[in-house]
Amino acid sequence: MITFKFKLDGYEKELSVQKPDSTQRLRDHYTVASRSYFLDELLLMLGGSGKQLSINHSNRTLKQIAELNNLSNVSISFDNNPFKKIV
């Protein structure tokens, strides 16, 4: 299981991913330390089409992309391990 913690519009939220192929894809990207990939995946899970993804804004920082989407304090945990900050 993979869990994201974040603030959306100022409210603390949590989203868990349990589907085996999804968790494996996320784990594979974690090993290459792709924080932008995780941020985009979270944005897609939160509704996607109206979100500003980092792949579309290569000139912006991850913090700026998160702010465009009213996100902050984004972190991830694998299998109930300590959370690691993404943005």
The overall pTM is greater than 0.75: yes
- Rounded to the nearest 10°, the torsion over CA 7, 60, 35, 37 is 100
Contact by Cβ (8 Å): 86, 11: no
Amino acid at site 64: Q
Straight-line distance from the first to the last Cα atom of the chain, in angstroms, rounded to the nearest whole number: 20
pLDDT digits (tens, 9 = 90+) for 8-48: 999 999 999 999 988 888 888 776 558 888 888 888 888 86
